Amino acid sequence: MYSKKIVIRYNPEIVQQPVIYLLSQKHNLVFNILKARIFPRREGVIVLELTGRKEDFDRGILYLKEMGLKVESLSKSVNQNMDKCVHCGACTGFCPTGALAFDKTTHKVVFDPETCNGCELCVSACPIRAMEINLM
């Protein structure tokens, strides 16, 4: 099984369509909605974890893009700004997935974007805003 977290950006014309339902039904993909901001007749964003066979996943992503949706890996939308980060570790206590961890050997905060679910708790926990999430 293949699993990946993605961000789908909706345009106002598509937001009323059952995109995720069709993605699941047509391409045999199981989805877990991690975050969603979708409003009628406006742009929206949804963060999903998609699971299925790799070939079904690839066909599903192509289907979304052919519908005119912008699709990217969640890891491209979340960033640890190393120029700002002072490695205080405040964010690690709020991260529910363990994507942020304090390495006791290097005394640095390590970020694993593949584990991140885009919840944005790290943004508010970081006193200097070194974690950056661009979901909109």
pLDDT one-digit tens code per residue, 3-42: 999 999 988 888 788 889 999 999 999 999 988 888 877 8
What is the per-residue pLDDT for 38?
A: 82
45 φψ region: left (φ > 0), alpha (ψ -120 to 50), beta (else)? beta
pLDDT at 136 over 70: no
What is the per-residue pLDDT for 6?
A: 93
- The two three-digit tokens of residue 93, written as one number: 């206590």
Q: Domain 2-74 has what CATH class? A: alpha beta
Give, as one character, the DSSP assignment of residue 25.
Answer: H
Domain-wise residue ranges, the chain = 2-74, 78-133
pLDDT, average across residues 102-131: 91
What is the per-residue pLDDT for 50?
A: 94
Predicted TM-score of the model (pTM) = 0.74
pLDDT one-digit tens code per residue, 38-82: 887 788 889 999 999 999 999 999 999 999 999 998 878 888 999
What residue type is assigned to position 38 of the chain?
I
- If pLDDT is split at 50, 70 and 90, which confidence band does 118 have? confident
What SS3 class is residue 126?
coil
pLDDT, average across residues 93-115: 92
Same fold, 2-74 and 78-133: yes
Q: Which CATH entry fits the domain spanning 78-133: 3.30.70.20, 3.10.310.30, 3.40.30.10, 3.40.50.620? A: 3.30.70.20
CA distance 20 to 100: 29
